[in-house]
Amino acid sequence: MARQNQRITESQQSMLSFIQDYILTNGRPPTFRDIQRGANISSLSMVSHHLDALRDAGEIEFSEGSSRGVWVKGLPKPGDFMRVPMCGVITCDGEHGVPTPDADALRNAEDWIPVARSLVGNAKMEDLYALRASGDSMIDAMINDGDLIIMRRNFDYKDGGLYAVMLSDRNETTLKRVFKDGKKFKLKPENPRLKPFWVDAQTTQLQGRVVCVVRAM
């Protein structure tokens, strides 16, 4: 019987963190060999020993005889993930952003990331794409340099939402909180050292709305 809240060692905590990060990154559990390499464990028998301890502590569950049978309790199951195409980088501070990908670009994307369905609400998989954040202008919105931003390309506009914004007169695409006032948009950084600025709606295109953020690992 599992002994809930049993104390685990520093090595076991490190292994648990590796397993969780692996699942969130790949959408499936690691093999025992992956765990040995990734958590720097001396042998496969020691991997098994630590997994037994983590199971007894109520941190994981795993199926005997399965090479990928380890799962961290509380994480979504494999069927609860969807594959989202990775479409490039968006600079939170402007310059050289990525335009909204069309349907063909989404279907033909070479890189994909697993995202828990619970994070994206009722968004359709074909409307979602991921961008890597670059810059620190949105740190107060909990978007840090290197984070993955899950975007929705078909959306209803909501004042104060976070959007990928193309500024055609500057040849820039940036990520900002957006407010509309007549024929102008106010683009607000989420960083106290940066000030909001106004742009003409005729030279501004909202290309995608932020659905969720996946922390960089």
Give the tokens for residue 36.
Answer: 């040995």
Longest dimension (CA), the chain: 67
- Given a contact cutoff of 8 angstroms between Cβ atoms, the answer to whether 51 and 18 are in contact is no
Distance CA 177, CA 62 (A): 43
Distance CA 175, CA 169 (A): 16
Distance CA 87, CA 82 (A): 16
AA identity, residue 156: D
Give the tokens for residue 193.
Answer: 């050292």
Helix axes 44-56, 10-26, angle to 10 degrees: 90
Residue tagged active-site, from 176, 184, 186, 188: 176
Q: Is 137 a catalytic residue?
A: yes
Residue tagged active-site, from 14, 17, 137, 168: 137
Q: Is 11 a catalytic residue?
A: no
Phi, psi angle pair for 23, to nearest 5° = -65, -45
- Given a contact cutoff of 8 angstroms between Cβ atoms, the answer to whether 90 and 133 are in contact is yes
Report the catalytic residues.
137, 176
